[in-house]
Amino acid sequence: MLANLGNFNPDTDSVKVEDMLEIDRWALSRLNTLISTCREGYDAYEFHTVYHAINNFCTIDMSKLYIDITKDRVYVEKADSFERRSAQTALYLIINAMTRLVAPLLSFTGEEIWQAMPHSAADNKVSVFLNLLPEVNPAYSFDKADKWEKLFDLRDDVMKALETARASKLIGKSLDAKVTVFTESPDALDHLGKFTDTELATVFITSGAKVVNAAAPENALKSEFGNPIAVLVENADGRKCDRCWCYSCEGEETEDSGFICRRCRRIIGNF
């Protein structure tokens, strides 16, 4: 989080919560849950509850899901683009609240983070301990959170299929792959149909993704988690972009940068 907030000014660069991308709003809804759990734990002097909540939030909600999925956006998109600012706003709000939540337990670490992170005019920059614990923010509530939770459940099957393909030397990184999700379940088709192929590829961290309403071929990996889907992993189409590392069939060769995909050419312009 700190690594991607270096050029972020909370007072001038923040995106309004209601305007943020959906996955960023999902992250803030998870932050609300964390704040509620931690405050209840502190009020009851049940510090183990606070520790477990923060640990699970960091390892699952953030590391396994949100940060892994948004890494491409904060690294590849233009520094001051809406897409990157939306993610930075979420990262700032999360690290600001999480640092105040963890400070009573990890005092020196909390203080060190507080001194290293950017602040808004509302913060007391002198010390994390001169600021109040965060409160649940109604603005962070997100009525489409369940939509993303269900997709993340299905994502576990895709991650397992990619891991299997990596172990068999079919691919190296997940961006070397394209995935096809096979399902004949009306519920799964309806839910996956709420996302574009590009959105699915972003969530799966692959260079391509699509959903097919059909029985799965024999070489597709069936769900180990009870989901009505099977996943086929294949080598991605096109060439690997030397900037974003995604594979693309549309791009151009440059004298000094190698192959640049259309998306990256749009971002860097004539730089």
Predicted pLDDT of residue 256: 74
Residue 104 in tokens: 């009573």
Residue type, 185: S
Single out the residue of 157, 175, 153 nearest to residue 216, CA to CA.
Answer: 157
Q: Is the pLDDT of residue 270 over 70?
A: no
Residue 198 has pLDDT above 70, yes or no: yes
Token digits of residue 200: 């699915």
Q: pLDDT category, 255, cuts 50, 70, 90?
A: confident
Radius of gyration (Cα) for the chain, nearest Å?
Answer: 21
pLDDT tens string 116-167? 999 999 999 999 999 999 999 999 999 999 999 999 999 999 999 999 999 9
Would you report the helix, strand and coil content of the chain in percent, each value rounded to 5? 55, 10, 35
Task: Indicate yes or no: pTM above 0.85.
Answer: yes
265: closest CA among 249, 243, 237, 232? Answer: 243
Taking only the tens place, the pLDDT of each residue in 43-88 is 999 999 999 999 999 999 999 999 999 999 999 999 999 999 999 9
Domains of the chain: 2-140 (1.10.730.20), 148-236 (3.30.2320.20), 238-271 (no CATH)
Q: Are 15 and 82 in contact (CB under 8 A)?
A: yes
